């Protein structure tokens, strides 16, 4: 039979394990969201990582308490300058992705600028 102290220690280990698992899952979700957004706008997601900058408990629209996490990431549009971005997660949902204004890379001479729609159509043609 376990004593109260042993139950408390067991509960701490289980709670710590759950928190660690949830934190790693949230970080992976934020990393994938940052990589996807950078791909959508045509910039490079740098260092393939995000960093947690803020953690808090907050109520959602339904009044339930959830963990809100804010992550920062960096990207580059031309390979020389670094710009910052921020991803906000509520529980397991992405709530917001913001990116600093950045200078668009100049196309090389003689190469036309291709829109996202043209890239998508070209992929379907092959």
Q: 18 forms bridges with which residues in the sheet?
A: none
pLDDT, position 55: 94
Within-domain flag for 24 = yes
pLDDT, position 104: 81
pLDDT, position 71: 97
Task: Provide the domain limits for residue 18.
Answer: 4-103
Rounded Cα–Cα distance for residues 18 and 95 (Å): 22
This prediction's pTM: 0.74
Within-domain flag for 122 = no
pLDDT, position 11: 93
For residue 44, give both structure tokens: 């490079």
pLDDT digits (tens, 9 = 90+) for 19-49: 999 999 999 999 999 999 999 999 999 999 9
Within-domain flag for 19 = yes
Within-domain flag for 14 = yes
pLDDT, position 60: 83
Domains in the chain, number: 1
Within-domain flag for 67 = yes
Rounded Cα–Cα distance for residues 110 and 78 (Å): 18
pLDDT digits (tens, 9 = 90+) for 63-120: 889 999 999 999 999 888 999 999 999 988 999 999 999 988 665 555 555 666 666 6
CA 83 to chain CA mean position, Å: 15
Tell me which of 37 and 1 has the higher pLDDT.
37
Within-domain flag for 125 = no
Within-domain flag for 119 = no
Within-domain flag for 109 = no
């Amino acid at each position: 039979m376990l004593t109260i102290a042993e139950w408390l220690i067991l509960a701490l280990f289980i709670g710590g394990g759950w928190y660690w698992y949830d934190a790693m899952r949230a970080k992976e979700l934020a990393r994938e969201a940052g990589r996807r957004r950078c791909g959508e706008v045509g910039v490079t997601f740098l260092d393939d990582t995000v960093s947690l900058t803020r953690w808090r408990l907050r109520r959602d629209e339904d009044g339930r308490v959830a963990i809100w996490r804010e992550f920062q990431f960096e990207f580059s549009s031309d390979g020389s300058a670094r710009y910052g971005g921020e991803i906000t997660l509520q529980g397991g949902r992405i709530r917001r992705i913001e990116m600093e204004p950045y200078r668009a890379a100049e196309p090389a001479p003689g190469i036309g600028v291709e829109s996202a729609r043209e890239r998508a159509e070209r992929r379907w043609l092959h």
